[in-house]
Amino acid sequence: MNIPEHIILTIRHKYNRPAKLSDPGSDFSQEELTDIISKSDADLTDTDLICIFQSFLPAGDYCESIYFLPIALERIRNDDEDGAVTICDNLLRWIGQQKVNLEADGIYDELLSFFDHTFAELTSTFTLEGNYPENCNRATIIFEAFNAISPDMPLGDQLLQKHLGIVETYAQAAWLVFFLEGFLYGIHKHSAFLQNVANDKSLQQKAYKIIIAQAINDNNLLRFWDKHFNSCGIW
């Protein structure tokens, strides 16, 4: 999904590029702040963007940091390296902290929709890259951060239910088991949806049959899934 034009236009219309970063949490040296703000937008590194949106201790206040939001979204959208994953983690937690300001600017729901669509794209296929599926870090970060943003109404659980709960395709079945294993081993905590999946043997069997049908002629996949079915107690 491309970055919604309304988000870009709203930010560019209302907020100019800041001349400084005020470091509201007093977490950076003046040298670090000057180094970031002196760079052109195109030269900002992943580390710079992580600092700008550093969760609870961002380098700038809301009016300063939000100018850089489209740049961070673009990096998350098009880059699957570790830096982009860390940007995603920090930015989502920053969004949770800045909900009131983002709602006032009329872009909070659009930002959640952007990450909803990004999650859908990341989990639309399930391709192994070594011992892990491609895109697993970004998909996991989005799920966990969505739950953290709104613990009373877990948005991450809604995300999994919406995109994986139907279990009709190999990708849906595979990602569901992937997230279930993380829950059973304590990686994903406090997920009512995954707790329900853990208790739903019928749903697990549905996922198992879809996965086996896909993997039956691929020894690499069979070895991978044998290990993960054992971990989840799925037979």
Question: Do 86 and 17 share a domain, yes or no?
Answer: yes
Look at residue 133 and tell me if it is in a domain: no
SS3 190: coil
C-alpha 181/C-alpha 178 separation (Å) is 5
Query: Could you tell me the two tokens for 181?
Result: 């294993």
Helices first, then strands: H and E counts in the chain: 14, 2
> How many residues are listed for the chain in this entry?
235
Please identify, among 122, 145, 173, the residue that sits at the C-terminal boundary of a domain: 122
Query: Could you tell me the two tokens for 49?
Result: 């963007």
User: With bands split at pLDDT 50, 70 and 90, how would you rate the model's confidence at 198?
Assistant: very high
The number of domains in the chain is 2
Strand ranges (E), 117-225: 128-129, 132-133
Query: Could you tell me the two tokens for 46?
Result: 């992943």
pLDDT of 187: 81
Look at residue 175 and tell me if it is in a domain: yes
Please identify, among 122, 138, 165, the residue that sits at the C-terminal boundary of a domain: 122
The predicted-structure confidence for 8-23, as pLDDT tens digits, reads as follows 999 999 999 999 999 9
Question: Do 7 and 118 share a domain, yes or no?
Answer: yes
Contact (Cβ atoms closer than 8 angstroms) between residue 182 and residue 201: no
- Mean pLDDT of the region 160-174: 97
Look at residue 205 and tell me if it is in a domain: yes
Answer with the residue of higher pLDDT: 225 or 187. Answer: 225
Look at residue 141 and tell me if it is in a domain: no
Contact (Cβ atoms closer than 8 angstroms) between residue 81 and residue 43: no
Look at residue 129 and tell me if it is in a domain: no
pTM for the model stands at 0.92
pLDDT of 1: 65
Question: Do 180 and 117 share a domain, yes or no?
Answer: no
Question: Do 16 and 106 share a domain, yes or no?
Answer: yes
Look at residue 136 and tell me if it is in a domain: no
pLDDT of 40: 97
**Positive or negative torsion for Cα 182, 109, 74, 48:** negative
pLDDT at 153 over 80: no
Range of the domain at 214: 154-235
- Mean pLDDT of the region 52-59: 94
Question: Do 159 and 228 share a domain, yes or no?
Answer: yes
3-state secondary structure 12-80: HHHCCCCCCCCCCCCCCCHHHHHHHHCCCHHHCCHHHHHHHCCCCCCCCCHHHHHHHHHHHHHHHHHCC
The CB density around residue 40, as the number of other CB atoms within 10 Å, is 7
For the ranges 38-47, 60-69, 126-135, which has the lowest average pLDDT? Answer: 126-135
Look at residue 18 and tell me if it is in a domain: yes
The predicted-structure confidence for 66-77, as pLDDT tens digits, reads as follows 999 999 999 998
Question: Do 185 and 227 share a domain, yes or no?
Answer: yes
Strand ranges (E), the chain: 128-129, 132-133
User: With bands split at pLDDT 50, 70 and 90, how would you rate the model's confidence at 190?
Assistant: confident
Question: Do 62 and 173 share a domain, yes or no?
Answer: no
pLDDT at 130 over 90: no
- Distances from the Cα of 189 to the Cαs of 6, 151, 173, 222, 229, in angstroms? 34, 11, 20, 28, 20
Look at residue 146 and tell me if it is in a domain: no
Question: Do 91 and 43 share a domain, yes or no?
Answer: yes
Contact (Cβ atoms closer than 8 angstroms) between residue 164 and residue 175: yes
Question: Do 110 and 199 share a domain, yes or no?
Answer: no
Radius of gyration of the chain from its Cα atoms, rounded to whole angstroms: 20
- Distances from the Cα of 5 to the Cαs of 9, 13, 33, 79, 160, in angstroms? 6, 12, 29, 20, 26
Question: Do 118 and 161 share a domain, yes or no?
Answer: no
Question: Do 106 and 28 share a domain, yes or no?
Answer: yes
Question: Do 114 and 162 share a domain, yes or no?
Answer: no
